[in-house]
Chain A
Amino acid sequence: MKITGKENRQWSRLGSRATYGQAILMLAEINNDIMVLSADLGNSSGLDRFKSAYPDKFINIGIAEQNMIGVAAGLAKEGSVVFASSFAPFISMRAAEQVRMNMGYMDLNIKAVAIGSGLSMAFLGNSHFGLEDAAIMRSIPNMTVVCPADCAEIVKTVFAAAEYPHPMYIRLTGAVGFPVVYEDDYDFEIGKAVQILSGSDVSIIATGSMVYESIVAAKILKENNIEASVLNMHTIKPIDESALNLVINKGKPIFTIEEHSITGGLGSAVAEYTSSIPNSPTVNRIGLPDEFVVTGEYRYLLEKYGLVGDQIASTILKSLNK
Chain B
Amino acid sequence: MTNKEKYNQVFMESFSVSSDQLNENLVYQSVPQWDSIGHMGMVAALEEAFDIMMETDDIIDFGSYNKGVELLAKYNVVI
Contact = CB atoms under 8 A, between A and B. Distances in A.
Chains A and B directly touch (beta carbon < 8 Å): yes
B58 interface: no
Interface string A5-43: 000001001100010011000000000000000000001
Nearest to A48: B35
A21 B37 contact: yes
Interface in B15-39: 32, 35-37
Nearest to B44: A13
B35 to A, nearest CB: 6
A46 interface: yes
Contacts of B44: 10, 13
B78 interface: no
Chain A at the B interface: SS class: helix
B41 interface: yes
Chain B at the A interface: SS class: helix
Given A18-B37, A43-B36, 7 more contacts: A10-B41, A10-B44, A14-B37, A21-B37, A48-B35, A48-B37, A52-B32
Contacts of A22: 37
14 contacts: A10-B41, A10-B44, A13-B40, A13-B44, A18-B36, A18-B40, A22-B37, A43-B36, A46-B37, A48-B36, A48-B37, A49-B35, A49-B37, A52-B32
A10 B47 CA distance: 13
Interface of B: 32, 35-37, 40-41, 44
A14 B32 contact: no
Contacts, number: 20
A52 B38 CA distance: 14
Contacts of B37: 14, 18, 21-22, 46, 48-49
Contacts of B35: 48-49
Contacts of A46: 37
B39 to A, nearest CB: 10
B28 to A, nearest CB: 13
Contacts of A14: 37, 40-41
Interface in A38-69: 43, 46, 48-49, 52
Contacts of A13: 40, 44
Contacts of A48: 35-37
A64 B3 CA distance: 50
A49 B35 CA distance: 8
Contacts of B41: 10, 14
9 cross-chain pairs, A with B, having the tightest CB-CB distances, nearest first: A18-B37, A48-B35, A13-B44, A14-B40, A14-B37, A13-B40, A49-B37, A49-B35, A46-B37
A13 B53 CA distance: 13
A21 B41 CA distance: 15
A10 to B, nearest CB: 7
Nearest to B35: A48
Contacts of A10: 41, 44
B16 to A, nearest CB: 13
